[in-house]
Structure 1
Amino acid sequence: MTGLTPREKSVNLGSMPYRKTVFANNEVYHIVNRGVADSPIFVSPKEYQRFLNLIDFYHFADLTTNFSHYMTLELKTRELFRQKMKNPLVEILAYCLMPNHFHLLLKQIKDNGISKMLANLQNGYVRYFNLRHNRHGPLFQSMFKAVRIETDEQLLHVSRYIHLNPTTSYLVKSENLLSYPWSSLAEYLHKRKPIFTNPSLVLALAGGKKSYKNFVYDQIEYQRELNKIKHLTLENS
């Protein structure tokens, strides 16, 4: 992951955002978006779970049904349907959902895969959230932020940053970090079976599950003090 272009930049043409840099296939990106004015985007467990279901559905290409119909299927039928979806737009390496923002670590597989997935994901969730809360208008900031991961070391550090978000923000205590249900950390440490996440690349770089756990937990207090590792992340860019 060397010789990559600088941080993703975007310009706003009136009401329609336009991203100058095209996402490259087989490259990894840290994706972040926040609620408008940092407003909450998840206010109940049902909403967190809905967002995860949307991630799972929309990271595939060539879908033969819509999400609403997919969710009406019985669980066994839904699982059989999902097993037939073998043409992903992106590979999902890690995620963390927070009350007012989300993080995704994505490797693009298909041309425009990240843009297509994020458009469907965010549009689908906004429709659901607005209907549920009897509201109108945008929920997310106009354009998600993205930074290309340039080195293996950066990939490790960004994955840790993502997984430490719940305790860095004091949403959960450090001893309860592994129990946070809206992060892929438990999937990395084999405490929960992954549905759509592939932890293998990051775990291989870390030297395995035990080494990765130490790598994450040894940094909790330091990351709390810094609150943000600005040279690796992009939330305040």
Structure 2
Amino acid sequence: MASHKIVLATNETYHLFNRSIGKVDIFSNLDNLNKILEVVNYYRYPQRIKLSRYNSMLESQKSEYLSTIIKNPPLIDIYVFSFMPNHFHLLAKQLQDKGITIFLSNIQNSFAKYFDLKNDRNGGLFQRSFKAKRITNNGEFIHVSRYIHINHVTSRIIEFEQLKTYEWTSLPCYLNEKLNKFVNTKPILDYFKTPEKYLKFLENNVDHQRKLKKIKDLLLD
């Protein structure tokens, strides 16, 4: 179960983070990525049934069920995501009281059950307490989006050119709206006017972010 010591405010935006216990690699392969994206998309709304039960329904039943669910407001609005090998980052606004806590609890529990079944394991998968940093102004919003989107690049997992189509982040949703299932790209694209300008902003900050990461790593005990 996801927990957080500080009460998160509705209609406020947060940088959300959590890691697997023992830094277990959980998101590297495509099957696991597709599962967590399915889980995120499903549980961003309050649900009456678990995803596993929903997936066992007939297509007509699924459509009927979803048509009732989407009449209600979602728990959160997701602007940016990134799934690193052993942790995730989200930039999201809470839309309902306790929305973030409920959402994170649901996605972590659902993905953990999938991961345990797939790998014949038991026990906790995610650290109990997630981290949340409130975004206080537009400048923070833009720069946290940058940090999250180029994290794979600055960590030298991929090259920047690969990022354009890299499904482990939400950036492809910004460059090709057809790929977008649940990311709200409007605030960032309104600020930069075009996807190309946002992409250039990200590219121009790769070296700077790497330098900051190196300094941070040097300061860790």
TM-score normalised per structure 2: 0.88
Q: RMSD value over aligned CA atoms?
A: 2.3
In 1, are the aligned partners of 2:13 and 2:92 still within 8 Å (CA)? yes
- Tell whether 2:153 aligns with 1:167: yes
> Structure 2 CA distance, aligned partners of 1:97 and 1:103?
7
Say which SS state the counterpart of residue 19 (structure 1) adopts. coil
More helix by share: 2
> Structure 1 CA distance, aligned partners of 2:13 and 2:174?
18
CA shift, 1:193, in A, is 2.4
> Structure 2 CA distance, aligned partners of 1:208 and 1:129?
38
Decide which moves more: 150-159 or 136-145. Answer: 136-145
Decide which moves more: 100-109 or 63-72. Answer: 63-72
> Structure 1 CA distance, aligned partners of 2:174 and 2:152?
16
* 2:50 alignment counterpart: 66
Q: Tell me: CA distance 1:192–1:166, structure 2 relative to 1, closer, same or farther (3 Å).
A: farther
121, 126, 137: which is aligned to 2:112?
A: 126
In 2, are the aligned partners of 1:126 and 1:139 still within 8 Å (CA)? yes
Decide which moves more: 183-192 or 197-206. Answer: 183-192
- Tell whether 2:101 aligns with 1:115: yes
Task: Give, as a single letter, the amino acid of the residue that structure 2 aligns with 1:85.
Answer: I
Task: Give, as a single letter, the amino acid of the residue that structure 2 aligns with 1:68.
Answer: S
* 1:53 alignment counterpart: 38
Say which SS state the counterpart of residue 167 (structure 2) adopts. coil
In 1, are the aligned partners of 2:189 and 2:195 still within 8 Å (CA)? yes
Say which SS state the counterpart of residue 93 (structure 1) adopts. strand
- Tell whether 2:189 aligns with 1:203: yes
Q: Tell me: CA distance 1:75–1:164, structure 2 relative to 1, closer, same or farther (3 Å).
A: farther
* 1:26 alignment counterpart: 11
How big is each residue's C-alpha offset from its partner over 1:175-211, in whole Å with a ceiling of 9 and x where there is no partner? 1111211110011122642101111012212333222
Task: Give, as a single letter, the amino acid of the residue that structure 2 aligns with 1:204.
Answer: D
Say which SS state the counterpart of residue 167 (structure 1) adopts. helix
Say which SS state the counterpart of residue 93 (structure 2) adopts. strand
67, 82, 85: which is aligned to 2:69?
A: 85
Mapping 1:86-235, distance limit 5 Å:
86=70, 87-190=73-176, 192-227=178-213
Decide which moves more: 84-93 or 149-158. Answer: 84-93
How big is each residue's C-alpha offset from its partner over 1:57-111, in whole Å with a ceiling of 9 and x where there is no partner? 11102x2432012223466864665454322011111101111111111100001
Q: Tell me: CA distance 1:84–1:40, structure 2 relative to 1, closer, same or farther (3 Å).
A: same
In 1, are the aligned partners of 2:28 and 2:84 still within 8 Å (CA)? no
Task: Give, as a single letter, the amino acid of the residue that structure 1 aligns with 2:188.
Answer: V
In 2, are the aligned partners of 1:31 and 1:104 still within 8 Å (CA)? yes
> Structure 2 CA distance, aligned partners of 1:157 and 1:81?
38
Ranges in structure 1 where 5+ consecutive residues have no aligned partner = 1-15, 231-235
CA shift, 1:35, in A, is 1.2
> Structure 2 CA distance, aligned partners of 1:79 and 1:206?
36
> Structure 2 CA distance, aligned partners of 1:190 and 1:143?
34
TM-score normalised per structure 1: 0.82
Q: Tell me: CA distance 1:26–1:137, structure 2 relative to 1, closer, same or farther (3 Å).
A: same
